């Protein structure tokens, strides 16, 4: 397949998704969860396993966007996380409804706490710093082991993957919370791994196919590794999707951005990173992309 020649299509797809995400972010902002906005956390020991719909029926009277999880070995403790700032009176009303419905003997919830947004700002700042440090480190390492233009292309693909995941969250109004930050940092590592496989094959082919142009070398290298990339991503996705379907809410919060990130990472390693590298190499050698495609 001619991956590089079709770069306008692949670039356009990514640009459209990121642009929609950017517009949605400008209009509505990201749907920050309790870790970023502050809010209320309530944990109540129900002493029995109940359906989430029963809990939702009560809590929806106060906030329809609350996150509900079940804790403990027997999943008998319900955890309610909401971005609404419930005072002690409202929290007491919520507990009283659970107490009445499930005949609880306790006079207060197992945990009742309000969080301020300062915690979220710290998480956000450190996550952003981690991504910047990781990108600089990868650029230095890849430039040392390969060459500078490989490093630039890899970082472009990495930024692409992060923006795609953020766009998906902005478009579908998925809550951005603590597990999302951990997942983004995981995606950064996964994305670069897939890209390096393609770049390593390009480097090998450059030694034996010096007469070929960069477009041809990139296409050959991608075709030689694309099956490996897709199979690796599919096996990874099977595991993550299983965690999302079968896991508790916290696991789902972590698995969802991973699913989007793995798909974006596979896409960028095939359709973004190598075409960017070809563009940089052709600019370096003074050849135009158009001239190379005509030669093919």
Q: What is the pLDDT of residues 234-269, one digit of tens each?
A: 999 999 999 888 877 778 888 888 899 899 999 998
CB 127 within 8 A of CB 183: no
What average pLDDT does the segment 160-168 reach? 91
> Given this chain, do its domains 4-32+118-294 and 39-115 carry the same CATH topology?
no
Q: What is the pLDDT of residue 290?
A: 52
Q: How many CB atoms lie within 10 A of CB 5?
A: 16
Does 295 have pLDDT greater than 60?
no
**Tokens in use for 49?**
């396993």
What average pLDDT does the segment 121-134 reach? 79
What average pLDDT does the segment 106-132 reach? 77
Higher pLDDT: 281 or 83? It is 281
Q: Specify the CATH number of the domain 39-115.
A: 3.30.70
The confidence band for 210, taking pLDDT boundaries of 50, 70 and 90, is low
The confidence band for 11, taking pLDDT boundaries of 50, 70 and 90, is very high
Q: What is the pLDDT of residue 235?
A: 92
CATH class of the domain comprising 4-32+118-294: mainly alpha
The separation between CA 203 and the C-alpha centre of its own chain, rounded to angstroms, equals 29
The confidence band for 63, taking pLDDT boundaries of 50, 70 and 90, is confident
- Rounded to whole angstroms, the Cα distance separating 158 from 276 reads 12
Q: What is the pLDDT of residue 31?
A: 80
- The count of residues in the chain is 296
CB 202 within 8 A of CB 269: no
Does 23 have pLDDT greater than 90?
yes
Q: What is the pLDDT of residue 15?
A: 95
Task: State the Cα torsion 259-261-263-266 to the nearest 10°.
Answer: -140
Does 133 have pLDDT greater than 90?
no
The confidence band for 139, taking pLDDT boundaries of 50, 70 and 90, is confident
- Show me where the domains of the chain are located: 4-32+118-294, 39-115
CA distances from 212 to 14, 208, 249, 292 (A): 29, 9, 52, 10
**Tokens in use for 32?**
């920050």
The confidence band for 212, taking pLDDT boundaries of 50, 70 and 90, is low
Does 272 have pLDDT greater than 90?
yes
**Tokens in use for 76?**
């008998």
Does 288 have pLDDT greater than 60?
no
Q: What is the pLDDT of residue 160?
A: 92
**β pairing state of 67-71 and 77-82:** antiparallel
What average pLDDT does the segment 151-175 reach? 89
The confidence band for 24, taking pLDDT boundaries of 50, 70 and 90, is very high
The confidence band for 39, taking pLDDT boundaries of 50, 70 and 90, is confident
Look over the chain and give the mean of its residue pLDDT values, rounded to a whole number. 84
Q: What is the pLDDT of residue 289?
A: 47
- Rounded to whole angstroms, the Cα distance separating 185 from 190 reads 9
């Amino acid at each position: 397949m001619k991956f590089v020649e079709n770069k306008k299509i692949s670039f356009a797809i990514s640009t459209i998704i990121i642009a929609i995400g950017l517009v949605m972010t400008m209009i509505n902002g990201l749907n920050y969860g309790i870790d970023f906005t502050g809010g209320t956390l309530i944990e109540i020991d129900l002493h029995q396993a109940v359906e989430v719909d029963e809990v939702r029926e009560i809590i929806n009277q106060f906030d329809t966007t609350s996150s509900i999880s079940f804790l403990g070995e027997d999943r008998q403790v319900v955890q309610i996380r909401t971005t609404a700032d419930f005072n002690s009176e409202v929290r007491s009303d919520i507990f009283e409804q659970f107490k009445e419905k499930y005949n609880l003997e306790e006079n207060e919830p197992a945990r009742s706490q309000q969080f301020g947004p300062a915690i979220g700002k710290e998480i956000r700042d450190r996550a952003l710093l981690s991504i910047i440090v990781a990108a600089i480190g990868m650029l230095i390492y890849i430039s040392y082991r390969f060459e500078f233009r490989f490093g630039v292309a890899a970082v472009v693909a990495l930024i692409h993957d992060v923006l795609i995941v953020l766009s998906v969250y902005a478009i579908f109004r998925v809550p951005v919370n603590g597990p999302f930050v951990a997942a983004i940092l995981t995606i950064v590592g996964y994305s670069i791994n897939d890209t390096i496989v393609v770049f390593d094959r390009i480097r090998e082919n450059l030694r034996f196919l010096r007469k070929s142009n960069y477009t041809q070398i990139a296409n050959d290298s991608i075709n030689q590794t694309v099956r490996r990339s897709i199979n690796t991503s599919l096996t990874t996705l099977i595991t993550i999707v299983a965690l999302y379907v079968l896991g508790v809410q916290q696991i789902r919060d972590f698995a969802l951005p991973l699913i989007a990130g793995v798909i974006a990472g596979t896409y960028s390693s095939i359709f973004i990173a190598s075409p960017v590298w070809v563009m940089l190499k052709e600019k370096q050698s003074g050849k135009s992309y158009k001239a190379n495609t005509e030669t093919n």
